[in-house]
Amino acid sequence: MSMEVEEAPRGGNSAETVAGRRRIAKILLIVLAVFIVLVQVATFVSRAKTASSDASPEIYRDAGWWAGHSYIEIDAQVLAVTPTNASETVRLTVVPHGRFAKNGGELAQSINLDADGYAGGTITLLAGEIPPPVMLTLDLVGDLSQYPLDKYTANLTINLRPVVAGQRAEVAVPTVLSVDSIKHDWKTNSSLIQTTNREIAVQLTSERGTATIGFALFELLIMLFLACIAVAITYAAIVSPKPLEFSLFVWLGAMLFALPAIRGTMPGVPGVGTMADFGIFFWCLFAVASCLIVAAITFVRTSLRSHREQPDD
């Protein structure tokens, strides 16, 4: 007497599997939503901290300065950091105080201003006038190929002398230098190099803000994930007994154009050839292109084999 084992219906197991996958998908979507919210909050907090730090100027006084009311204040404000041109734009605002100033804020006497990065020759601030802003272009020292972790320095030297009878005198002018920035996608700070009764020399340091670095690394991670997905899908399609579908080639071809587009949206990204390119971008592009080539070869070989195996009529 033979006993037949009744096979359990697969419908219930299949329904349970689908329900389990949906639960996992819901959990992943919730985690992703929470992650996006946290990243957005962190971005605003980072930008706010950078803006607050930039708004708090760093103060430097020359060695001839004394705690009096007669001095000239110079506000050096960083307007732009341009690594591709190896330059940094700084605006100097001159504000006289005490015996150097008149009631309306005009200079009481002419002052000669020497500063790094000024291409117009000697700067003479005339008596009886409110000093106009002075634009400087400083030389940046750094390595752009280290993007997005690149860091730059620039030197700024300020020298003030009174003008007497049309000639620059060697008398020291009490000077106060304040350094701040309005370029909030860059973290800028300064440090004193030297100070004498003749000049103030500081070093300006600039590096990309935390939010900028975070978004750049996030987009690199997206490219890496897309390349891994392309490799996994191509492998699954090749080892599957089903014939390759043409949509796979369309998708891989689109990926070859999508990766450079993603790279182009990275904040402040320079030309091709940075550390990020050699570390991730080039390899992701190579992986996707290799998948497309391997899939095409497999498709052609399978098609030719099928054509040979077909019996002749």
Would you kindly state where each structural domain of the chain is located, as residue ranges?
53-207, 212-307
Output the pLDDT for position 64: 64
Q: Identify the pLDDT of residue 35.
A: 75
250-292: per-residue pLDDT in tens? 999 999 999 999 999 998 899 898 999 999 999 999 999 999 9
Query: Higher confidence at residue 266 or residue 34?
Result: 266
Three-class SS of the chain: CCCCCCCCCHHHHHHHHHHHHHHHHHHHHHHHHHHHHHHHHHHHHHHHHHHHHHHCCEEEECCCCCCCCCEEEEEEEEEEEEHHHCEEEEEEEEEEEHHHECCCCCECCCEEEEECCCCCCCEEECCCCCCCCEEEEEECEECHHHCCCCEEEEEEEEEEEEEECCEECCCCCCEEEEEEECCCCEEEEEEEEEECCCCEEEEEEEEECHHHHHHHHHHHHHHHHHHHHHHHHHHHHHHCCCCCCHHHHHHHHHHHHHHHHHHHCCCCCCCCCCHHHHHHHHHHHHHHHHHHHHHHHHHHHHHHHHHHHCCCC
What pLDDT does 51 receive?
61
- This prediction's pTM: 0.77
What pLDDT sits at residue 10? Answer: 47
Residue 5 confidence (pLDDT) = 45
For position 98, what pLDDT does the model report? 87
Above 90 in pLDDT, residue 25? Answer: no
